[in-house]
Amino acid sequence: MIPLVPLAAVAAGAIATTYTMAIAREATRPRRATYAWALAHGVAASPAEVPGVRAWREGSTTLHAAGRAMTHTAHAPPSARSIVLPWWFVQGQGAGAMLVIHGWGRSRWDSLRRLPWLLEHAASFLLPDLRGHGEAPGTTSIGHSDHLDLDQVMANAFNGSVPPAAIDGGLTLVGHSMGAMVAARLAVLLAERGTPIRRLVLMSPYDSLIVPMGHRLRLRGLPAGPFAATAAWWLARGEEPLHRTLSRVQCPVLVLGGGLDAVTTPSDVRRATAPHDGLIEPGIDHANVGVEGTASREALNAFLART
């Protein structure tokens, strides 16, 4: 007769391991937010549909294994080992440049939703798809190495007008959720290179991967506990939490959050960004931070005007 207790323990271990692996796999392969997503959600399907956009162009940067970046054209298709990151380059109404970085499971189409708040504050905007998101192939690093990709994308899209010091009016980084983590890491990378950015805007930021991963599971009625903690540890091992990254950021920082945000709650936002100034606006959920809210827009306008 097979002992039932050891057998049950083996079965429970197998189930726990399978569930943890499923959490990790889903985290690195989010659903795609593409043109069809934009149509389904009733948002702008291209920069041309955003009020105030004067001109725009579409392009992509091919990231080669050797680290070189080049513009992808029909005459120079990417190799099988290349990763191609598509982007939009939008003409604005202000001075300087802005890089707008979307969050996990979103894309440059979601970044378009935040463009109306930003258009008057920069002359040019770069809205890319991160790896594993939108129309960019591959799997996402969940913010671990995206800043290195974007370093190449900027050099390509801005036609060599980087480092940021070479951009008339300076460079502003804007990131939502996972994009906020990427923006902070990119800001540090550029500062350590001796080319600091002008300012940094963080929307619904979190301190470490376990925060949004655990909350998203609980919102779906799924257990988080040690399963999410183990998956997050495996995927983000060795990563620096946001509050430590921000301690090395020297430029002005604005933090925006939503009172109804259940993915990166107000306490999560404050814990990740203290002692930087921030605004948590009641009535705003995770997806709409930087899109809705009178107080948030006023705070953003004031910050961009004085910095």
Q: Is 68 exposed, middle or buried (0-12, 13-18, 19+ CB in 10 A)?
A: exposed
Q: Which two tokens stand for residue 251?
A: 């430029």
Q: Which two tokens stand for residue 101?
A: 């970085």
Determine the 3-state secondary structure of 29 from DSSP. coil
**For residue 168, what pLDDT is reported?**
79
Positive or negative, the CA dihedral 89, 94, 98, 102 is negative
- Backbone φ, ψ for residue 87 (5° rounding): -155, 160
Dmax over CA atoms of the chain, in Å, equals 79
Query: Around Cβ 233, how many Cβ atoms within 10 Å?
Result: 16
Give 33-212+237-306's CATH code, choosing from 1.20.1560.10, 3.40.50.11540, 3.30.930.10, 3.40.50.1820.
Answer: 3.40.50.1820
| DSSP class of 292 | B
Query: Around Cβ 155, how many Cβ atoms within 10 Å?
Result: 15
Pick from 235, 204, 222, 197: which is nearest to 25 by CA? 235
- Kindly list the distances between the CA atom of residue 275 and the CA atoms of 27, 254, 259, 272, 305, in Å, as whole numbers in the listed order: 29, 11, 19, 9, 21
**For residue 158, what pLDDT is reported?**
86
**For residue 305, what pLDDT is reported?**
96
Question: Cα dihedral angle (129, 132, 137, 141), rounded to 10 degrees?
Answer: 110
Q: Residues 178, 212: contact at Cβ < 8 Å?
A: yes
Which residues touch 147 (CB under 8 Å, ≥6 apart)?
182, 183, 185, 186, 189
Q: What is the pLDDT along the chain (307 residues), one digit of tens a residue?
A: 456 667 777 777 788 899 999 999 999 999 999 999 999 999 999 999 999 998 999 999 999 654 444 444 333 444 445 799 999 999 999 999 999 999 999 999 999 999 999 999 999 999 999 999 999 999 999 999 999 999 999 999 987 656 666 687 899 999 999 999 999 999 999 999 999 999 999 999 999 999 999 999 999 999 999 999 999 999 998 899 999 999 999 999 999 999 999 999 999 999 999 999 799 999 999 999 999 999 999 999 999 999 9
Q: How far is residue 237's CA from residue 231's CA, in Å, rounded to a whole number?
A: 10
Element (H, E) at 302: helix 294-306
Which residues touch 4 (CB under 8 Å, ≥6 apart)?
none
- The angle formed by the CA atoms of residues 164, 169 and 173, to the nearest 5 degrees, is 55
Instruction: Please tell me the pTM assigned to this model.
Output: 0.92
